[in-house]
Chain A
């Protein structure tokens, strides 16, 4: 197939066979307990230079405690998949952790916009749908996914997509390369110690990304008996063999919410969004991330029992989330 047009973005790409071989070597098939602290999970699974993806959004069921741990451990030169990403991209850049961002949606606040304009972080423009398709290709073990989007736009020219003539219709079609992240972070409602997991409500690409990633860190609101999964297997979102680390992190999506568990804390979110200057950013990181030992310490000293109970009490919509 002749390439008609090729986008200019640098891409992180793995040959499907290389990925398969990595899985054969490294992913454990036996059911072993993977419960560990967030500190252990990040130090084992996240290395400098890694490509990181996450699900769902910054404000709902996002892996915020894991992101804070990555910043606390001062990982460097990360490449992040910014889909539905709001304040955590700013925090990762502010913490000096992220140097490249694949953009689906990169909001919000002036801090991240200025970091891009100042050249402190490089962005490559894709779209939410293109990144989801890339993840699907990565999960299928195929090198690319054809899509009928991006076509004709600057988004395509600045992405890493290519346009070819489709051999079936003869029409131009856009090909997006498979994405196999080094690490996928996901916060779930329930998990067992082996890594079987349930997500209630919508998701971006939780199963696709868990399948496509080399390493998966699962943060769970609740650890449940493994038998629960066998009693109701249709509700399993992610099976254990995709998962490398399970971390029990109640309120781990804070300041975002988790459906039917606790509401988001808009006051804290507004505080993060109001960050404009480097000074404000460093002050925030010092107080809320570097200045605490771990997630439990963060909740105890920076959020507090009363606040958490109030957020939990406000999560009154339960139907559908069980």
Chain B
């Protein structure tokens, strides 16, 4: 058996999705660790873009939390620019992948990161809002969403749609004027990996963590994701992934801590 946290599983699964020699728009927090891990183990030539204008940083480790714009996180970039230029690169189609978090998603991969419950004026819980998430989800070719696996986060109707997925289905993005050919591509959770079916643009289960059953993963969701004929078994974090994460990237455990999980190797 191997022991890990739900956060470590998300980071490792997402890191395995990234493609080398491509560009990725990296959001604040967990996506930074995903990119750091991928850069060290899988995609040494991945070019990261931060929304405030750091292009191609080679962030130093250990990870310095909080200040994405600080010297260690934007170390040895190719360019230091500003926000309007970072989004200019995304707007003109230079950014292949984008990676953002979510509080809720629906079947079309639309994202809520603004509020839960209550009314807009008096929300029961208020979150930071879009940040640059709406730009990433609107402009990058393929968006990867990273979210803790809790059934209540998969809803029929979002409390607030912060950033666009496929909106109301096929053709929805183009109809409102979003750049064509863009949209959510994968959803990485702490138990599973989802994609979107080509025809219907609906959330589709692609894989589950080794040892979990499909019903265990889908139970309690407000809608039932589609499933491919062969739902893959996702390997738990490998020793090497955990070693790099725990010893090199986040030795203080500030981001990688979480709910304890275990799986057979």
A complexed with B: yes
The yes or no answer to A317 lying at the interface (CB within 8 A) is: yes
Cα–Cα distance between A117 and B160 once the two chains are bound (Å)? 15
Cα–Cα distance between A206 and B75 once the two chains are bound (Å)? 21
Cα–Cα distance between A169 and B77 once the two chains are bound (Å)? 36
Interface mask (A103-125 → B, CB under 8 Å = 1, otherwise 0): 11111100011001111001101
Decide if A202 touches B161 in the complex (CB within 8 Å). no
Decide if A126 touches B52 in the complex (CB within 8 Å). no
The yes or no answer to A29 lying at the interface (CB within 8 A) is: no
The yes or no answer to B109 lying at the interface (CB within 8 A) is: no
The yes or no answer to B129 lying at the interface (CB within 8 A) is: yes
| Closest B residue by C-beta to A165 | B177
Decide if A155 touches B126 in the complex (CB within 8 Å). no
Interface mask (A126-166 → B, CB under 8 Å = 1, otherwise 0): 11111011001000000000001111111100100001001
Decide if B132 touches A128 in the complex (CB within 8 Å). yes
Interface residues in B4-33 by Cβ distance below 8 A to A read none
| Closest B residue by C-beta to A85 | B128
Interface residues in A54-83 by Cβ distance below 8 A to B read 56-57, 59-61
- Chain A interface size, as a band, is 35 or more
Residues on B with beta carbons closer than 8 Å to the beta carbon of A84: 52, 69
Decide if A150 touches B138 in the complex (CB within 8 Å). yes
Residues on B with beta carbons closer than 8 Å to the beta carbon of A107: 128
B135 to chain A, nearest CB (A): 4
Interface residues in A271-322 by Cβ distance below 8 A to B read 315, 317, 319-321
Q: If A103-B129, A125-B130, A202-B52 touch, does A148 touch B178 (CB 8 Å cutoff)?
A: yes
Interface mask (B59-97 → A, CB under 8 Å = 1, otherwise 0): 010000111111110111100111110010001000000
> Number of contacts between A and B (CB, 8 Å)?
186
Cα–Cα distance between A154 and B120 once the two chains are bound (Å)? 10
| Closest B residue by C-beta to A259 | B71
Count B interface residues, CB 8 Å: 60
The yes or no answer to A257 lying at the interface (CB within 8 A) is: yes
Decide if B176 touches A132 in the complex (CB within 8 Å). no
Residue among B51, B84, B134, B160 with most chain A CB within 10 A: B134
Decide if A153 touches B162 in the complex (CB within 8 Å). yes
Decide if B70 touches A59 in the complex (CB within 8 Å). yes
| Closest B residue by C-beta to A60 | B69
The yes or no answer to B144 lying at the interface (CB within 8 A) is: no
The yes or no answer to A21 lying at the interface (CB within 8 A) is: no
Interface mask (B158-188 → A, CB under 8 Å = 1, otherwise 0): 1011111001000011011111000000000
Decide if A125 touches B129 in the complex (CB within 8 Å). yes
Residues on B with beta carbons closer than 8 Å to the beta carbon of A163: 176-177
Q: If A116-B123, A119-B122, A201-B69 touch, does A152 touch B178 (CB 8 Å cutoff)?
A: yes
The yes or no answer to A264 lying at the interface (CB within 8 A) is: yes
Q: Select one of A86, A132, A317 contacting B83, CB under 8 A.
A: A132
Q: Select one of A60, A106, A127, A153 contacting B67, CB under 8 A.
A: A60
Say which one of A171-179, A187-195, A239-247 lies at the interface with B.
A171-179
Residues on B with beta carbons closer than 8 Å to the beta carbon of A266: 65-66
Residues on B with beta carbons closer than 8 Å to the beta carbon of A60: 67, 69-70
Cα–Cα distance between A237 and B134 once the two chains are bound (Å)? 28
Decide if B167 touches A152 in the complex (CB within 8 Å). yes
The yes or no answer to A269 lying at the interface (CB within 8 A) is: yes
Q: If A149-B139, A153-B161, A153-B164 touch, does A104 touch B67 (CB 8 Å cutoff)?
A: no
Q: Select one of A127, A152, A208, A321 contacting B71, CB under 8 A.
A: A321
Residues on B with beta carbons closer than 8 Å to the beta carbon of A173: 177
Residues on B with beta carbons closer than 8 Å to the beta carbon of A113: 125-127
B167 to chain A, nearest CB (A): 5
Decide if B52 touches A155 in the complex (CB within 8 Å). no
Q: Select one of B80, B82, B91 contacting A205, CB under 8 A.
A: B82
The yes or no answer to B131 lying at the interface (CB within 8 A) is: yes
Which 3 residue pairs spanning A and B have beta carbons closest together? Answer: A172-B177, A105-B131, A59-B67
Give me the interface of A with B, judged by CB distance under 8 Å: 56-57, 59-61, 84, 86, 103-108, 112-113, 116-119, 122-123, 125-130, 132-133, 136, 148-155, 158, 163, 166, 171-174, 201-208, 256-257, 259-260, 263-264, 266, 269, 315, 317, 319-321
12 contacts between A and B (CB under 8 A): A59-B66, A104-B131, A127-B130, A127-B132, A128-B83, A132-B82, A152-B173, A163-B177, A202-B50, A202-B81, A257-B67, A266-B65
